Amino acid sequence: MSLRDILAATDKPLSNGDMQVIEVLLANPQRAVFMPASEVASRASVHESTVTRLAQKLGFAGYPQMRESLREDALATGGLSSRIVDAASSRRHELRALVQNDADALLQLPAYVSQDELTRAAEMIFAARTVFMTGNPYAYPVRAYLERRLRRYGVQVVGLPDSDYEASELLQTMRDGDLLITFAFRRPPSRLSKLLALTHGRGARSLVIADVVGMQLRPSPTQIIAAPRGSDDVFRTPIVPMMIVYALQLSLLHVDPHRCTEALDQLDDVMALLDAEGPANLYTNYVAQEILGDGVGERS
**Superfamily of segment(s) 113-247:** Glucose-6-phosphate isomerase like protein; domain 1 (3.40.50.10490)
CATH numeric code, 3-76:
1.10.10.10
Q: What is the pTM of this model?
A: 0.67
Same fold, 3-76 and 113-247: no
Give the mean model confidence (pLDDT) for residues 85-97.
60
List the chain domain ranges: 3-76, 113-247, 257-292
The helix/strand/coil state of 25 is helix
- pLDDT per position as a tens digit, 213-231: 888 888 999 999 999 887 6
Residue 47 has pLDDT above 90, yes or no: yes
The helix/strand/coil state of 179 is strand
Q: What pLDDT was estimated at residue 247?
A: 97
Q: What pLDDT was estimated at residue 286?
A: 60
Q: If phi over 0 gives left and psi between -120 and 50 gives alpha, with beta otherwise, what is residue 163?
A: beta
Task: Identify the sign of the CA torsion 95, 97, 98, 104.
Answer: positive
